């Protein structure tokens, strides 16, 4: 999973581990209240959930609602209801993560040198998320042509 390395890193930050940040940098990032850690963990959970939705493009629950769900279980999912959000996701992920290709060119005074390098490698898989999602979306779209 491309979102897992950065999610684990953010969770570690939320738990108070500096993980590449200077002491002051970590305090600035997390903040004095519990909202900083809650935000970091929430962002990690949201990214993992979005990544898991990709599996619907290659597994049966992306075509038929699982029977265990009341009222809608067993119904066929219209391909358009899967394809359109998936392509929207490709666009959003492209905008969000492509700038991380330039991570090493951006200064980060609140991080140690080693931390800056490590974080760059932890976030680099996210750059691949959009093209990988595009590939499975295109495959799903071709399988469900009329």
pLDDT of the residue at 83:
95
pLDDT tens column, 22-36:
999 999 989 889 999
**What single-letter DSSP state applies at residue 78?**
P
Q: What is the pTM assigned to this prediction?
A: 0.87
145 burial type by CB count under 10 A (0-12 exposed, 13-18 middle, 19+ buried): exposed
**What single-letter DSSP state applies at residue 54?**
G
Can you tell me whether residue 111 is helix, strand or coil? strand
- Kindly state the average pLDDT of the residues 60-77: 89
Task: Provide, rounded to the nearest whole percent, the portion of the chain with pLDDT above 90.
Answer: 76
């Amino acid at each position: 999973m491309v979102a897992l390395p950065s999610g684990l890193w953010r969770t570690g930050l939320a738990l108070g581990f500096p993980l590449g940040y200077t002491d002051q940098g970590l305090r600035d990032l997390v903040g004095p209240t519990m909202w900083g850690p809650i935000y970091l963990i929430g962002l990690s959970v949201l990214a993992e959930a979005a990544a898991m939705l990709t599996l619907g493009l290659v597994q049966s629950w992306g075509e038929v609602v699982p029977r265990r769900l009341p009222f809608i279980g067993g119904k066929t999912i219209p391909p358009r209801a899967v394809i359109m959000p998936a392509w929207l996701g490709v666009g959003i992920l492209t905008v969000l993560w492509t700038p991380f290709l330039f991570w090493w060119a951006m200064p980060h005074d609140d991080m140690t040198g080693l931390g800056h390098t490590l974080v760059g490698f932890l976030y680099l898989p996210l750059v691949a998320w959009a093209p990988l999602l595009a590939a499975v979306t295109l495959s799903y779209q071709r399988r469900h042509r009329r």
